[in-house]
Amino acid sequence: MPAICLGGFAHEPQAAPTPWGHFKQRFVAPSGRVVDNGNAGISHSEGQAWGMLLATIHDDRPTFERIFRWTRANLAIRGDRLLAWRFRPVGGVDDINSATDADIFHAWALLRAEERWPGEGYRAMALAIAQDIIRVSCRQIDGRVVLMPGAWGFDHGNHLVLNPSYYVFPALEALAAAHPHPAWPALIAEGERLMLEARHGRWSLPADWVVLRRRGGAVEPEPVRGDRFGDDAVRLPIYLVWSGRWRSPLVQRVGAFWEDAAHPYQPAWVTLSDNRIAPYSANLGHAAIRRLVQPGGAVGQAVAGAANDQGYYSSSLALLAAAAAAEAPGRGSARLAALRP
């Protein structure tokens, strides 16, 4: 193919970036800060941990190290091994509470980094984080061992507020293998139980946030931000499929909801108290998850379609769905080769 002449200089045509390449260009600053452009440009521990994990999956050591260094310098400031959850572009960290799913992803990313690039001490860091997740973020209630969403703010005396999507099954299993402790199998079993109890509404879908009451009682949607299957709960099929739980009733129910012929489009959310669907369609990240739960769904095509997605969260979901498709036990021979930079 001939070179293109622009302004007197010859330029070879540039190949379109892969989805991971696009994500890096748009959302990873040169410093290693992962920018959530849908949330006032903040950074958070979840985004940093996802970026580190995705870099290991795509064998991208320079990007991993950039994100890792920024994360350690700016979010590892709590006094334990967990991360402060929110960093604002003006003012820096303004909330040092932890976000437990981010800490789980952070530890998992470090374990995977040790496997890819051994000798940097990543495993020791992961084990220290795992120890503090158990110490700070686990709670016993009526014989159940549950994951608190953060170090504080979710225990309201007579009830706990929980987020089912914080049970990242493949990561919990990796931590259990690397850091044997009776809390891990208890958490995994409790997560599977919570997946079933958190389903509500016409389509039996999981709530974004739930209330677990002391001394028994049903698991109910949290009334302020939990009365919907939306951007939190939509992550659950990724984690279930990724860990080989693709036959889970929850995965089947989510798939049935998305394939309901009564919907004129794939709804972005549904409220569980009145079964009202969103008046607009889901983003491309949700579409990739839909492909993931379909038998024989071509997740790679959906992710390729998200290569020009302008939203941090949607792009993240698409890349995580692609990773789940590639690595899930019993899901065929899906590959990430076409997605590598």
Length in residues, the chain: 341
Residue 2: per-residue pLDDT: 39
In angstroms, the CA 201 to CA 257 distance is 11
Query: Domain-by-domain residue ranges, the chain?
Result: 19-332
pLDDT digits (tens, 9 = 90+) for 131-188: 999 999 999 988 899 999 999 999 999 999 999 999 999 999 999 999 999 999 999 9
Give 38's contacts (C-beta < 8 A, 6+ positions apart). 311, 312, 313
Three-state secondary-structure class, residue 199: strand
Structure tokens at 130: 């795992």
pLDDT digits (tens, 9 = 90+) for 72-100: 999 999 999 999 999 999 999 999 999 99
Residues of the chain with pLDDT under 70: 1-16, 296-309, 331-341
- What's the pTM? 0.91
In this structure, whether the domain defined by 19-332 belongs to CATH 3.40.50.300 is answered with no
Q: Which residues are catalytic?
A: 46, 101
Q: Residue 66 CB: number of other CB atoms within 10 A? A: 22
